[in-house]
Amino acid sequence: MAAKTWDSPQMVVGKHNNVSRIVIYSMLVIVAIVYLVPLVVMLLTSFKPLPEVYAGNILALPHEWTLAAWEKAWGSACVGLDCSGVKGFFWNSFRMVFSAVFLSTLIGALNGYVLTKWRFKGDNVLFALVLFGCFIPFQIVLIPMATFLGKIGLAQSITGLVFVHVVYGLCFTTLYFRNYYIAFPDELVKAAMIDGARFFRIFFRILLPNSVPIITVTVIWQFTNIWNDFLFGASFTTGASAPITVALNNIVNTSTGVKEYNVQMATAMIAALPTLLVYVVGGRYFVRGLMAGSVKG
């Protein structure tokens, strides 16, 4: 009778690792499928003519691929005198996001710089108050902000909406930059002071060029939150000055007669594409930037 052979500890560990990988990857695939099915349905529906949408399986490939729904959703295809689309609202959102992200990131970086490299009495109390602002719900600021925007003449405008997003986002951007700069060597700042560099020169020549990881995090965070915002857009803008999220809601809820699901899905894809592209291009840097500066502070 042949002698029984025993697996070495290394072989046993290797087998367990392989089983663990199979289980983990299987779960990831299942979760990915669950999350991707709605996206696949949106894409397929947006490329189908309307009769096929009503007659076919939502997961079936289009028998006739067409861009008509996309053209109508964007506003480049006119039916009679109807040239409505989300093109104008899309550019409203683009202008709003670009301005708000730039200003909130720059001011947040300055705040983080002051709170870490130019310490003053009560700076920790000030930072605690700023941190408290991160936990204020959107709904609480609606009425005070609407009143304030009306008094300064920015109500129902993209400029007013930019102001709202900058103010609300400053708490988060200040937190990110403060936690990043607190790990930045103080010796570099002191050496620059000895060489005669002043406040803004130190900031723009030393700190800001070394802040690419946290700038990436801040831009992705702010861009996603501002672009996808609906509550502020619906509360502080109206008509042609509304962002694309408000326009998408109006298209879905105000359509009468036959529901043009292909146009609605195309509009939803247009609204989602910018944030999708941001995460595809810069998503891998997001976690790296969050971890940067997390050892100290």
CATH code for the domain of 271:
1.10.3720.10
Mean pLDDT of 74-91: 67
With respect to residue 194, please indicate whether it lies within any of the assigned structural domains: yes
With respect to residue 297, please indicate whether it lies within any of the assigned structural domains: no
Name the β-bridge partners of 79. 82
Q: Is the pLDDT of residue 76 over 60?
A: no
Side-chain-side CA neighbours of 79 within 13 Å: the count stands at: 7
pLDDT at position 139: 86
pLDDT at position 11: 58
Sign of the Cα pseudo-torsion (28, 30, 31, 33, in order)? positive
Q: Is the pLDDT of residue 137 over 80?
A: yes
Query: Of 133, 141, 108, whose CA–CA distance to 236 is shortest?
Result: 141
- What average pLDDT does the structure give for the chain? 84
Residues 70 and 95 in one domain: no
Residues 92 and 70 in one domain: no
pLDDT at position 110: 94
Residues 170 and 231 in one domain: yes
Q: Is the pLDDT of residue 290 over 70?
A: no
With respect to residue 1, please indicate whether it lies within any of the assigned structural domains: no
Query: Of 225, 229, 224, 227, whose CA–CA distance to 282 is shortest?
Result: 224
Please return the burial class of 163, using the count of CB atoms within 10 Å of its CB with bins 0-12, 13-18 and 19+.
buried
Residues 47 and 152 in one domain: no
| From 17-26, 176-185, 283-292, the region with the lowest mean pLDDT | 283-292
Q: Which residues contact 68 (CB under 8 A, 6 or more apart)?
A: 49, 77, 262
Owning domain of residue 166: 87-291
Q: Is the pLDDT of residue 83 over 70?
A: no
Give ∠ CA 75-255-81 in degrees, rounded to 5. 45
Q: Which of 74, 103, 120 is the last residue of a domain?
A: 74
Residues 91 and 70 in one domain: no
Q: Is the pLDDT of residue 124 over 90?
A: no
Residues 242 and 110 in one domain: yes
Q: Are 191 and 117 in contact (CB under 8 A)?
A: no
pLDDT confidence band for 297 (50 / 70 / 90): very low
Task: State the DSSP string of 141-194.
Answer: GHHHHHHHHHHHT-TTSHHHHHHHHHHHHHHHHHHHHHHHHTTS-HHHHHHHHH
Residues 40 and 171 in one domain: no
pLDDT at position 82: 45
Q: Are 210 and 222 in contact (CB under 8 A)?
A: no
Residues 97 and 220 in one domain: yes
Share of the chain above pLDDT 90, in %: 36
With respect to residue 82, please indicate whether it lies within any of the assigned structural domains: no
With respect to residue 79, please indicate whether it lies within any of the assigned structural domains: no
With respect to residue 115, please indicate whether it lies within any of the assigned structural domains: yes
Q: Could you read off the pLDDT of 19-63 as tens digits, one per residue? A: 788 889 899 999 999 988 988 999 999 999 988 888 878 888 888
With respect to residue 4, please indicate whether it lies within any of the assigned structural domains: no
Q: Which residues contact 133 (CB under 8 A, 6 or more apart)?
A: 170, 171
Q: Which of 74, 105, 121 is the last residue of a domain?
A: 74
Q: Is the pLDDT of residue 64 over 60?
A: yes
CA dist 98 and 105 (Å) reads 11
CA dist 292 and 208 (Å) reads 14
pLDDT at position 122: 85
pLDDT at position 291: 65
Residues 113 and 172 in one domain: yes
pLDDT confidence band for 288 (50 / 70 / 90): low
Distances in Å between the Cα of 86 and the Cα atoms of 99, 191, 244 are: 20, 53, 7
Number of domains the chain is built from:
2
Both tokens of residue 260?
């043009």
Residues 67 and 92 in one domain: no
Residues 233 and 130 in one domain: yes
With respect to residue 253, please indicate whether it lies within any of the assigned structural domains: yes
Residues 94 and 206 in one domain: yes
Both tokens of residue 295?
């050892």
Q: Are 188 and 251 in contact (CB under 8 A)?
A: no
pLDDT at position 95: 92
Mean pLDDT of 276-282: 82
